[in-house]
Structure 1
Amino acid sequence: MNGITGEDRRTAIGKLPAVGSGLFTSRSRRRVRALAGAEFALLGRNRSAVATALLVPLALPFSVRPAIDQADFRGVNLGTLMLTAAIGFSFLFAVYTSLVSAYVARREELVLKRLRTGEPTDVEILGGTALPAVCLGLAQALVLALGCVVLLDAGAPRAPWLTVLGLLTGLTLSATLAALTSAFTRTTESAQVTALPLVFMSMIGSGIALPTDLLPHRAAAVCEFLPLSPAVRLVRAGWTGELTAYEAFGTVLTALAWTVVAVFAVRRWFRWEPRR
């Protein structure tokens, strides 16, 4: 009609702010559940991946249990350090790297393009695709937290609301960064390669594999502004209570700023059709 194709209308609508068709309407929730259900079904077929994501992390607390006698590292309990590292790994591997592959695979198989010609909005498509990985990452984080508390004497969190904020921001930002990384990934085979820079940068600079206490003061100050650093810092502070209210507020603001930047970048550069 009027020379405008359905694809043109869908593309135009997809670029508009989602006001009445956001994730808060019943129809929108049904569409997201349907998309997430399909992703869960695909994930469920790969039982080895599910078992690896949920069971293998338990080896982390078991593997360091003999070192529990060295439980104090610059005033921080070893169990707390391992818990922070484990949850950081769930951000990177259960959510980020797995979603980069998922987004690229759905794009190259034209799934995203077909979905975009229907009723779901862009947010619903991306959110429905990400939901299974985010749920898996959350489940993994909870299992790891319980394992570290029981096996490594991590103790109870002193400020649990900070840990909750860290989990929410970490999972959200990991999924958003995965969508952004997929825009620069040509094939599913190269997804692991394009994800490596953020993985290595976060492991070393965000306090996941290497506590920031070991870094020089200037380097640590710079690393505080890496994408996943605020989330990891909040998770750790929830157990140690090391952040003041002012510091916690600044850390949350940094996490929100990164989320806003990542969302803007996804809206600007995310690719819905195969790269040629």
Structure 2
Amino acid sequence: MRAPAWALITGAEVRMLCRSVPALVMGAMLPAALGLLIVWAEHDTGRAGRGTATGLQLAVLLALTTYTAGTTTLVARRSQSVLKRLRLSGASDTAVLTGVLLPSALLMLMQGAVMVVAGGGQLPGRAWALVIAVAAGLLVAGVFAVVTSAWTPAPELAQLTTAPLALAFLGGAFWAAGTPASEVEWWMLALPGVAVTQLTRLGWDEPGIGTAGGLAAAAALVIAAAAVAPLAVRAVRWDPRP
């Protein structure tokens, strides 16, 4: 039985990623190094708490691996006319975008697994909260990548065009980390980094965050993705920019 189009595109993207040593090193090593630095700091001080530290790690991976690297890949494939050819192949727009972005998401999950092991292998008591944080975070980062790629003329400029949203994602996580969970206001959840951190806090049952707060954080991520998705559909560019 023939594999679905998104799976075939993902397989091709993974092979191309593995052949590009610089892209693999930069895409895998830098976010992982920053995440492991957070693990080391938490082990050294113990001040943040496992849930908050995990939220910071997840925000780093989502911002740098899923969002920034995903945007770069989309722009590179567009400039090479790959997106246009894939669209003319009969695959749906959703399948094409999913197939191109999925390797970045898989790489982020692998990095996350390494950090869990580096952090002692401690899993949350409420695993569902961590699963929602990862899944909803990937959805938001992927939609943001599609939107940002439309305004990125060349792959070399992706580091610049993704900087504002990436910094907002990371800034939200650090803002939440510096704020007790019980003092995080509902309007702060508009920043995805805050919502992700609140969910990971719920997973490790940190004081000040309950199930209702975790569900509000999950809803904020879903609403953010739903609000940006129509813009992504209208803004996505398939042809190389002149």
- TM-score bracket for the superposition, by shorter chain length: 0.7 to 0.9
The 1:109/1:65 distance shift into structure 2, 3 A limit, reads closer
Q: Give the aligned residue type for 1:70.
A: T
Shift of residue 98 of structure 1?
Answer: 0.4
2:59 aligned residue = 88
2:45 aligned residue = 70
Question: Could you say which structure has the greater relative contact order, defined with CA pairs below 8 angstroms and 6 or more residues apart?
Answer: 2
Moved over 6 A (4+): none
Conserved in 1, the CA contact under 8 Å of 2:195 and 2:220? yes
Conserved in 2, the CA contact under 8 Å of 1:39 and 1:132? yes
- TM-score, normalised with respect to structure 1: 0.76
**Structure with the higher fraction of residues in helix conformation:** 2
2:18 aligned residue = 44
2:153 aligned residue = 186
When the two chains are superposed, the root-mean-square deviation of aligned CA atoms in Å is 2.7
Q: Give the aligned residue type for 2:221.
A: A
1:239 aligned residue = 204
The alignment status of 1:143 with 2:114, answered yes or no, reads: yes
The alignment status of 1:174 with 2:141, answered yes or no, reads: yes
Aligned positions, number: 239
Q: Give the aligned residue type for 2:84.
A: K
1:109 aligned residue = 80
Superposed counterparts of 1:26-37, under 5 Å:
29-37=3-11
The alignment status of 1:165 with 2:132, answered yes or no, reads: yes
Secondary structure at the residue paired with 1:272?
coil
Q: Distance in 2 between matches of 1:122 and 1:63?
A: 37
Secondary structure at the residue paired with 2:155?
coil
Conserved in 1, the CA contact under 8 Å of 2:51 and 2:200? no
Conserved in 2, the CA contact under 8 Å of 1:112 and 1:125? yes
Conserved in 1, the CA contact under 8 Å of 2:58 and 2:112? yes
Q: Percent identity?
A: 24
Conserved in 2, the CA contact under 8 Å of 1:61 and 1:147? yes
Q: Distance in 2 between matches of 1:134 and 1:248?
A: 23
- TM-score, normalised with respect to structure 2: 0.86
Q: Give the aligned residue type for 1:33.
A: A
